[in-house]
Amino acid sequence: MISPSEFFYRGPGNRVRFGRPAADAISEAITLEYKAPLKIFVIASERNQKLVDSVKANSAAEVVCHLSEVIQHVPEELVKKAGDLVLDTQPDIILSIGGGSAVGLAKALVLEKKIPIWAVTTTYSGSEMTNIYGISTSGKKKVGRNENVLPELVIFDPELTQDMPYRIALTSATNALAHLVEAGYAVNNNPVTYAQALSGIRLIIDGYEDVISRGFPGGIANKNFLTAAYLGGKSLFEVAMSLHHKSAHVVGGNFGMDHASGHTVLLPFVLDYQWKHMPADVKSDFKSAFGDENPAQKLLGLLKKLEIPHSLEEIGFREEDLADAAFQIAAIDMESPAPVEQVAVESMLRKAWKGAL
């Protein structure tokens, strides 16, 4: 770890509202604005219509557009369609209600034209806390960082994540865990991010255990996962992501796999790949956070107990595409504790395809 007397740290610097009902938090934010009526462009799928209706009912707001079309990996065609609507309506605020796909579209819309984003999260994606965006063009996903895309206000309401379908909740939570794990071994780490990453890892592992004992991801697990999602997203902003995220974006964005499922399946195998190259003190802290001498094996065992995907084969990845995926991953410029070599990456992916370390 970096000595506490020698490090650089920069946090996101946005406003975060945690625990208050989302409708109340949005209404409060609207009243704090000096401009009325506030012109709001809403991105939200139809399942969030009740919350959209509450915004429409606010006399200090004018919903100039409600775009309910939300697509994973943010295809360029949807960005163009939504961008034309933004030009036509000239909103003061873009309000994203949903997971990574909804806020991802909002981010794509403000790359060139700076408009504040308010993000209400309904999953554990963490994207709402970052300056990272991704747009897919012709089946290839481009990921980058831009200061314009960091949401100005983020609202975390545990009621909105309480009733997520079982598999979606658990794969989304594992996506959050991936942010925390990579923040833990980040090459450009600092003590602040490192401490919050370890705290978040513990929250998710405890949450998994709670789900296994109860049979559903509610109550304690939901609040653990949402808090960890906040810490994971914040960590994602503060330090560079590495092999896991590059691999997940290739598997998801370039081969059409579900984003959270790809993160879930890959995480134990990437952690195992990095393990022997991680500093001894970091490995010791990971063992403590995971509650096991072999964190990668412990994680894979938990995924199996939770009965969520733990192999690339399960989520539909074709064995004949493994070599191509390894080539694409190895070609990405990244900092990683372990050397990123095509042959070794392909071996890692083959283990992930089989679901066995």
Looking at residue 124, its pLDDT comes to 95
Q: What is the structure's pLDDT at 48?
A: 95
> pLDDT > 90: what percent of the chain?
87
Check residue 174 and give its pLDDT: 97
Lowest mean pLDDT among 35-39, 171-175, 344-348: 35-39
d(CA 37, CA 282): 51
Instruction: Give the mean pLDDT of 29-35.
Output: 88
Mean pLDDT of 19-36: 92
Are 178 and 74 in a shared domain? no
Query: Are residues 197 and 182 part of one domain?
Result: yes
Any domain includes 39: yes
Question: Among the three residues 138, 161, 184, which one is the final residue of a domain in this structure?
Answer: 161
Instruction: For residues 173 and 300, state if they share a domain.
Output: yes
Supply 289's token pair.
Answer: 């956070």
Tally the residues of the chain: 357
| Residue at 21 is within a domain | yes
Tell me: do 286 and 300 sit in the same domain.
Answer: yes
Binned at pLDDT 50, 70 and 90, residue 1 comes out as low
Please state whether the predicted TM-score (pTM) of the whole model is above 0.75: yes
So what's the pLDDT on residue 51? 97
Residue 4 has what pLDDT? 61
Q: Is the pLDDT of residue 2 over 90?
A: no
Distance CA 218, CA 158 (A): 10
Kindly state the average pLDDT of the residues 224-243: 95
- Under DSSP, is residue 18 helix (H, G, I), strand (E, B) or coil? strand
CATH of the domain at 137: 3.40.50.1970
- Whether residues 133 and 211 share a domain: the answer is no
Is residue 10 assigned to a domain?
no
Confirm if 38 and 30 have CB atoms less than 8 A apart: yes
CATH code, domain carrying 196 = 1.20.1090.10
Q: Please tell me whether residues 319 and 204 are part of one structural domain.
A: yes
Coil, helix or strand for 63?
A: strand
Helix (H) or strand (E) holding 40: strand 38-44
Asked whether residue 8 is domain-assigned, the answer is no
- Identify whether 7 is part of a domain: no
Among 215, 126, 216, smallest CA distance to 174 is for 126
- What average pLDDT does the segment 330-357 reach? 97
Q: Give the single-character DSSP code of 356.
A: -
On whether residue 4 sits in a domain, the answer given is no
DSSP state string for 215-244: SSS-THHHHHHHHHHHHHHHHHHHS---HH
DSSP type of residue 253: I
Query: What is the predicted pLDDT for the residue at 8?
Result: 84
What pLDDT shows up at residue 18?
95
Q: Which residues contact 304 (CB under 8 A, 6 or more apart)?
A: 310
What's the mean per-residue pLDDT of the chain?
94
In the block, tokens 């022997």 appear at 276
Q: What is the reported pLDDT for 195?
A: 96
Task: Specify whether 256 is located in the same domain as 170.
Answer: yes
Q: State whether 249 and 296 are in the same domain.
A: yes
pLDDT of residue 6: 78
Question: What is the 3-state composition of the chain as percent helix, strand, coil, each rounded to the nearest 5?
Answer: 55, 15, 30
- In the chain, the number of structural domains is 2
User: Tell me, what DSSP letter sits at residue 350?
Assistant: H
| 215 shares its domain with 133 | no
Q: Please report whether residue 116 resides in a domain.
A: yes
97 & 229 share domain: no
Asked if residue 109 lies in contact with residue 79, where contact means CB atoms within 8 angstroms, the answer is: yes
**Are 155 and 173 contained in the same domain?**
no
Residue 50 belongs to a domain: yes
Q: What is the pLDDT of residue 3?
A: 63
Looking at the predicted structure, is the pLDDT value of residue 219 above 90? Answer: no
Query: Are residues 59 and 140 part of one domain?
Result: yes
- How many angstroms separate the CA atoms of 267 and 271, rounded? 6
Q: Is the bond preceding residue 165 a cis peptide, omega within 30 degrees?
A: no
Domain that holds residue 89: 15-161
**The domain boundary residue, chosen from 135, 161, 187:** 161
Percent of the chain surpassing pLDDT 70: 99
Side chain identity at residue 70, one-letter code? V
- The domain boundary residue, chosen from 134, 161, 188: 161
C-alpha triplet 137, 94, 233: angle, nearest 5°: 70
What does the pLDDT look like over 286-309, one tens digit per residue? 999 999 999 999 999 999 999 999
Strands lying side by side in the sheet with 153-156: 15-18, 153-156, 117-121, 93-98, 38-44, 61-67
pLDDT digits (tens, 9 = 90+) for 251-277: 998 998 998 999 999 999 999 999 999
Distance CA 295, CA 291 (A): 8
C-alpha to C-alpha distance for 119 and 338, rounded to whole angstroms: 35
Model confidence pLDDT, tens digit, residues 56-110: 999 999 999 999 999 988 999 999 999 999 999 999 999 999 999 999 999 999 9
Q: How confident is the model at residue 36 (pLDDT cuts 50, 70, 90)?
A: confident
Query: What pairing do the DSSP bridges indicate for beta strands 61-67 and 132-137?
Result: unpaired
d(CA 10, CA 30): 28
Instruction: Summarize pLDDT for 105-154 with one digit per residue, the tens.
Output: 999 999 988 999 999 999 998 999 999 999 999 878 888 999 999 999 99
Helix (H, G, I), strand (E, B) or coil at 67: strand
